[in-house]
């Protein structure tokens, strides 16, 4: 294989890119991280929660300064005031500080970080006999062009490599926006409202932060109405008395505007590797489809990518075939997307009353339900409304709630 400036170039300094770079550097690979923005993690496009299970699974020790609040779990609120808890501990982060910390850690391990470097072009170099040699990356920034043996695409929903190379299917996205608010009391639960009135085919959240701050936002497929719906939700609930503020990372403006972005919702891309290329995180379509958490998946896929890069570079062979272990690893580890997507579709098919009936049959605490409890829930629903079981596929909804827990990479 021909030589190159770098063993690995990671595109994007989000949680996925930071984790991939950290592990690549730890494994002794010459690693460069390219980030289009001047500042890491800004603008924040995340509700900022990460479960304790994720932290353990990723073997990281979060420094206190990146943690905004230690939380107890999620409370799901259904129409007609039915509430259910999913108690599993975790964190609300100061996400931009968390992402900065991850990159600092990668740099301490030997990675090089270049902000204000936007990737715009990719050129595949071959040796004789059409054998892949390396990539030349071009873009806006002093360091370009650079050559690398392997690219880890961690560019988020932009999916820059698949956009340029057209080597994968398109993914569906949903848009999510939130305000930061203050004077919001909390009992350390994240509130997720499945209230179709405000968030058709989505949900509304109140994610508490320290000093009575909170992220209040929603995701919905009704793109054109998202801000109006979020404002109406705030106006119609206890939040109407609370104040919206600009987050610390944002320059104060005349008018406080919501912030956010788009999230992949159709499951993984049909192709997450190419010659000398691995896609991770949102760039690969890895988000938990029901509640759209993606940081845990992005970071785990970043770790897998680093391990596969190390092995391939050791063998000095990094064609698409040599990187196929990456797909084996994530397919074995990540939750069954088709089941979650099926359940999500069935969930959006339910009316407010049907949602309330289903929820009323569930135990107050949804974590750690035994098989007997689950059967009991099924029976209760069948007695109250057989149509929900036989026509509205409510069992698949319940399954998809189950697969949205932290141990299945829900958050």
Ligand X SMILES: Cc1cc2nc3c(=O)[nH]c(=O)nc-3n(C[C@H](O)[C@H](O)[C@H](O)COP(=O)(O)OP(=O)(O)OC[C@H]3O[C@@H](n4cnc5c(N)ncnc54)[C@H](O)[C@@H]3O)c2cc1C
Residue 65 is encoded by which pair of tokens? 């300064």
Cα separation, 191 vs 185, whole angstroms: 12
Among 229, 287, 385, 400, binds ligand X (CB under 6 A): 287
Tell me: does residue 261 bind ligand X (CB under 6 A).
Answer: yes
Cα separation, 345 vs 330, whole angstroms: 24
Tell me: does residue 294 bind ligand X (CB under 6 A).
Answer: yes
Name the residue nearer to ligand X (CB basis): 88 or 354.
88
Tell me: does residue 196 bind ligand X (CB under 6 A).
Answer: no
Among 196, 293, 343, 402, binds ligand X (CB under 6 A): 293
Query: Nearest 5°: CA angle at 61, between 18 and 288?
Result: 60
Assess contact for 61 and 102: CB atoms under 8 A.
Answer: no
Minimum Å gap between C-beta 155 and ligand X is 4
Residue nearest to ligand X (CB): 294
Minimum Å gap between C-beta 376 and ligand X is 31
> Of the ranges 8-16, 104-112, 193-201, 307-315, which one interacts with ligand X (CB under 6 A)?
8-16
Assess contact for 179 and 240: CB atoms under 8 A.
Answer: no
Minimum Å gap between C-beta 374 and ligand X is 26
Minimum Å gap between C-beta 356 and ligand X is 26
Q: Where are the alpha helices (DSSP H) in 152-267?
A: 160-165, 226-236
Sign of CA dihedral 48, 52, 53, 58: positive
Binding mask 173-192 for ligand X (x = CB under 6 A): ---x-x--------------
Residues 109-138 within binding reach of ligand X (CB under 6 A): 118-119
Tell me: does residue 159 bind ligand X (CB under 6 A).
Answer: no
Q: Where are the alpha helices (DSSP H) in 225-265?
A: 226-236
Tell me: does residue 158 bind ligand X (CB under 6 A).
Answer: yes
Name the residue nearer to ligand X (CB basis): 190 or 350.
190
Tell me: does residue 154 bind ligand X (CB under 6 A).
Answer: yes
Name the residue nearer to ligand X (CB basis): 139 or 343.
139
> Of the ranges 142-150, 278-286, 332-340, 361-369, which one interacts with ligand X (CB under 6 A)?
278-286
Nearest to 411 by CA among 112, 189, 251: 189
Among 31, 155, 168, 186, binds ligand X (CB under 6 A): 155
Residue with tokens 């196929």: 324
Name the residue nearer to ligand X (CB basis): 196 or 217.
217
Residue with tokens 């580890």: 333
Name the residue nearer to ligand X (CB basis): 282 or 322.
282
What is the pairing mode between strands 67-78 and 189-193? parallel
Assess contact for 283 and 160: CB atoms under 8 A.
Answer: yes
Among 318, 330, 334, 411, binds ligand X (CB under 6 A): 411
Q: Where are the alpha helices (DSSP H) in 32-94?
A: 52-57
Minimum Å gap between C-beta 89 and ligand X is 15
Cα separation, 362 vs 402, whole angstroms: 12
Tell me: does residue 298 bind ligand X (CB under 6 A).
Answer: yes
DSSP assignment of 321-366, as one string?
GGGTHHHHHHHHHS--HHHHHHHHHHHHT--HHHHHHHHHTS-SB-
Residue 82's φ and ψ, nearest 5 degrees, are -90, 130
Residues 17-56 within binding reach of ligand X (CB under 6 A): 17, 34-37, 45-50
Assess contact for 247 and 180: CB atoms under 8 A.
Answer: yes
Minimum Å gap between C-beta 184 and ligand X is 16
* Contact residues: ligand X, CB under 6 A: 11-17, 34-37, 45-50, 118-119, 154-156, 158, 160, 176, 178, 217, 260-261, 263, 281-283, 287, 292-296, 298, 411
């Amino acid at each position: 294989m021909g030589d190159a400036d770098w063993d690995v170039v990671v595109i994007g300094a989000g949680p996925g890119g930071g984790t991939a770079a950290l592990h690549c550097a730890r494994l002794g690979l010459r690693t460069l991280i390219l980030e289009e923005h001047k500042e890491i993690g800004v603008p924040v496009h995340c509700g900022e929660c990460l479960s304790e299970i994720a932290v353990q699974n990723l073997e990281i020790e979060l420094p206190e300064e990146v943690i905004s609040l230690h939380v107890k779990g999620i409370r799901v609120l259904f129409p007609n005031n039915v509430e259910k808890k999913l108690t599993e501990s975790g964190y609300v982060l100061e996400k931009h500080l968390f992402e900065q910390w991850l990159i600092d850690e990668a740099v301490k391990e030997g990675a090089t970080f270049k902000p204000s470097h936007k990737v715009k072009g990719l050129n595949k170099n071959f040796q004789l006999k059409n054998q892949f040699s390396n990539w030349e990356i071009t873009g806006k920034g002093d360091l370009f062009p650079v050559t690398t043996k392997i690219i880890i695409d961690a560019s988020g929903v932009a999916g820059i490599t698949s956009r340029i190379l057209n080597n994968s299917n398109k993914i569906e996205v949903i848009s999510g926006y939130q305000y930061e608010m203050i004077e919001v009391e909390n009992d350390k639960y994240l509130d997720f409202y499945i209230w179709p009135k405000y968030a058709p085919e989505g949900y509304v959240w109140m994610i508490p932060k320290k000093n009575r701050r909170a992220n209040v936002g929603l995701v919905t497929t009704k793109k054109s109405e998202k801000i109006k719906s979020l404002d109406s939700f705030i106006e119609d609930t206890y939040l109407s008395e609370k104040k919206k503020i600009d987050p610390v990372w944002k320059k104060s403006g005349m008018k406080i505007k919501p912030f956010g972005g788009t999230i992949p919702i159709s499951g993984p891309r049909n192709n997450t590797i190419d010659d000398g290329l691995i896609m991770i995180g949102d760039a690969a379509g890895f988000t938990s489809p029901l509640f759209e958490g993606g940081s845990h998946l992005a970071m785990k896929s970043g770790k897998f990518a680093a391990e596969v890069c190390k092995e391939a570079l050791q063998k000095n062979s990094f064609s698409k075939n040599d990187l196929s272990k990456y797909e084996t690893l994530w397919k074995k580890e990540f939750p069954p997307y088709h089941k979650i997507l099926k359940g999500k579709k069935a969930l959006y098919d339910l009316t407010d009353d049907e949602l309330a009936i289903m929820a009323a049959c569930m135990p107050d605490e949804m974590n750690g339900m035994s098989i007997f409890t689950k059967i009991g829930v099924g029976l209760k629903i069948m007695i109250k409304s057989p149509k929900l079981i036989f026509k509205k596929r409510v069992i698949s909804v319940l399954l998809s709630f189950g697969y949205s827990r932290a141990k299945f990479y829900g958050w």
